[in-house]
Chains A and B, each alone.
Chain A
């Protein structure tokens, strides 16, 4: 059974803080993704990675960075958190085979005050 885990379910941070969101998958998937989900806007892709040390910008990368030092781990970094980054953050992974089905972690609800 594929498992994608995220470091926190709920997180409250102050404006200007540096925030780290961690994601780990245990299925040796090549591809990993970070999304944010907001009401009425659906899932929007922030960054993705197809290989270790590789990263590509998604649709809304501003204010975020990522790190993929190991195949199983993909970190999302908010360099200086702002209130408009309050959201649900979802990590996903997928293999390089079949229909590239994406498996999601449980999400981190981040509140920036």
Chain B
């Protein structure tokens, strides 16, 4: 079983739609959680950290459910520029400095 599992997609949605991605992780000792974004042929970049209380950054909302070991990302009012691969990332149980990456969920926003 992979440590971090994501639906690979692809998700194809029209502009303005709301889309949600989910992710599960296997190690209950993980302490830090993130969503990274990777554009085609580019390097991953941090989109947002995920906190137990849930957090929002503009059109993006991230949620963490520690009991279910589940992380989600909600994107409202999708823009063409949101097209990318979204990586669910979890810190290693032994060290917060080491991260484990999911394989990513591909999103295409259509005009």
Contacts and interface: CB of A to CB of B under 8 A. Distances in A.
Given A104-B43, A105-B43, A99 B103 contact: no
Contact of A100 (B87, B91, B100, B101): B91
B53 interface: no
A41 B100 CA distance: 12
Contacts of B101: 35, 42-43
Contacts of A102: 46, 99
Which of B45, B100, B101 gathers the greatest number of chain A CB atoms within 10 Å?
Answer: B101
A81 interface: no
Given A40-B8, A90-B43, A99 B32 contact: yes
Nearest to A41: B103
Nearest to A99: B49
Nearest to B49: A99
4 nearest CB pairs, A to B = A42-B103, A104-B43, A43-B101, A100-B97
21 contacts: A31-B97, A35-B101, A40-B8, A42-B103, A42-B104, A43-B101, A45-B100, A48-B98, A90-B43, A90-B44, A94-B97, A99-B32, A99-B34, A99-B49, A100-B32, A100-B91, A101-B46, A102-B46, A102-B99, A104-B44, A107-B43
Interface of B: 8, 32, 34, 42-46, 49, 87, 91, 96-104
